[in-house]
Copies of this chain bind each other. A is one copy, B any other.
C-alpha cells in the first residue's frame, strides 16, 4: 500500500468496509462504490472473502487483479476448490489475475509496485519472474551486491490465471528487459514454456534456477505454491535444448546474469589466469579445468612482453604468477593486465590483479596503474578503468576476498555498479565462464541450423 502510493500520478482507491479513510485517502466499502473506472484491483482479504471480492471486480469491469491472499491450492482440498471457484469467476468475467498467494509485482519504469516489502529497487535491465516470493526477495535484496537493476519483477504465486509462461512471453517483447531471470519450482505448461524459451534465447538470454527436483523439496513445493515439480532430468534436457542457462543457486543466477549484461561472451574455452600468488593460480586453474575450460599457452608475443616488464621470478607461463608482493603497488602490474587482455590465445581472463586505489583503501590499493588520478573521484577513476577493459573483447573475471569492512563493501559496490563483480572464489568465476561458454556454443549451434 505504502509503495503503491509512491508515484503520485496514479490514483489509488482503498476499499475496506470498516473505515472511511486510509492513509489520507477516501476508503470505499466496496469496489462498486468507487466513482471512477478501475484498471486493476489488488485483493488482500481472507481467502473465504476472495471469491466475493473478485465477483465485485467483474461487476466493476476491472481488467486485471492481483490476489495476494493465500489459502488456496497450496493448503489442500478445500483451498483447491476455492481456487477453482475464482478461476471460474475470472474466466466468466474476463479478468486475469496474478496469484493468488503472491507477494506482488513491480515495474521500475512506471514505479508501480504492489509488493509490501521491497523498497528502493534499482531500475535496470533484468526481468525477474519468481515462483516464490521469498526467493524473489532474496534475489532483489542481494541485487546491489551484484550492481543489478530490474525492469520488472513478478511473484507468480499459485498461477491460477496468469502462468509463468505468460509473464515470460511478456518479458520477451519488453524493450526494457535485456536478460530474463527465472526462479522455477514447477511449470504449468512445460511444453509451452520451452516453445517460448526457444524463441527468446537467441535474442535475449534466459537464466533459470529450478528447484524442487528431489522428493522432499517437491513435497515442500506442493505445500508452498501447489507446484508439480516434475522430473529434474526432463527439465535439464529441455533447458539444454532451448538455450535456457540453468544455474544451481541464487548466487549463480545473479552472477551469470550480471556477466551476461556487462561482459562479452567468451569466444571459446581457453582461459588465462593472472595472479599475485601461486596457490590461487593453482586453485583457479583447477577450477577452470573442473568446469571443462582449458588453461592455454600464451602467445609468444605475450611472453616476450611480460619478460621485458616483470622481474625474472614470474611464472613464465599460464597461470601468470607475479610471485608475491614486491611487484605489487607498481605500475607494471596493471600493464600485465592489458598485455593479457590483448593475447589472442585467450578467450577469457581470470585475475586477482585489478584496479585499486593505492593510499585510499589499502585492501583495494594493492594494484594500481594510474599515476595521474588527481582530481578524479573514485567513481570516475573506476569508470575509466572499466572503459579500458571494455576495449578488449574478452570477459575479465576478477577474484578477491570477501569484503570485511564498510570501506571494502563500498569499493566492491562501486565496481559492481560498473558491472564488474569481484568473485570471492575462483571456483565461481570459472562456473560463470562455463555458463557463458555453453550459451555461446548454443547460439552458434542454432545459427548453424
Binding site for B on A (CB under 8 A): 70-71, 74-75, 103, 116-117, 130-138, 141-142, 144-145, 183, 185, 211-217, 219-221, 223-225, 248-251, 273, 275-283, 285-286, 288-290, 294-295, 313, 315-319, 321, 323-325, 401-406, 409, 424-425, 427
Q: Which chain B residues border A315 with CB–CB below 8 Å?
A: 220, 223-224
Q: CB-CB < 8 A to A250: which residues of B?
A: 283, 425
- How distant is A273 from chain B, measured CB to nearest CB, in Å? 8
Q: Are B134 and A277 in contact (CB under 8 A)?
A: yes
Chain B residue contacts of A409, Cβ below 8 A = 403-406, 409
Q: Is the CB–CB distance between A279 and B135 below 8 Å? A: yes
Is A138's CB under 8 angstroms from B280's CB? yes
Q: Is the CB of B402 within 8 A of A145?
A: yes
| A220 in contact with B281 (CB, 8 Å) | yes
B283 touches A135 (CB 8 A): yes
Given A135-B279, A220-B321, A224-B278, A214:B285 Cβ within 8 A: yes
| A285 x B220 contact (CB < 8 A) | yes
- Structural contact, A220 and B134, CB atoms closer than 8 A: no
The answer to whether B117 touches A282, judged by C-beta atoms less than 8 angstroms apart, is no
Contact, CB under 8 Å: B134 / A280:
yes
**How many copies are assembled?**
2
Q: Please state if A282 and B75 are interface contacts (CB–CB under 8 Å).
A: no
B75 and A313 form a contact (CB under 8 A): yes
Report the minimal beta-carbon distance from A171 to chain B, rounded to whole angstroms. 19
A225 touches B278 (CB 8 A): yes
Q: When the two chains form their complex, are residues B279 and A134 in contact, meaning their CB atoms are under 8 A apart?
A: yes
Chain B residues within 8 Å of A276, by CB: 134
Task: Choose among B71, B225, B282, B290 the residue that contacts A185 (Cβ–Cβ < 8 A).
Answer: B282
The 12 listed contacts between A and B (C-beta, < 8 Å) are A134-B277, A135-B280, A141-B404, A211-B282, A214-B286, A216-B295, A220-B273, A220-B281, A223-B316, A249-B427, A251-B425, A404-B409
Contact A282 B425 (CB under 8 A): no
A215 to B294 CA separation, bound complex (whole angstroms): 9
Q: How far, in Å, is A224 (CB) from chain B's closest CB?
A: 3
Asked if residues B404 and A323 are in contact (CB atoms below 8 Å), the reply is no
User: Measured between C-beta atoms, what is the minimum distance from A139 to chain B in Å?
Assistant: 10
Is B135 in contact with A220, judged by CB distance below 8 angstroms? no
Q: Is the CB of B313 within 8 A of A71?
A: yes
**Complex CA distance for A279 and B157, rounded to whole angstroms:** 11
Partner of A282, one of B70, B217, B406: B217
Residue of B nearest to A71 (CB): B313
Q: List the B side residues contacting A323 at CB < 8 Å.
A: 70
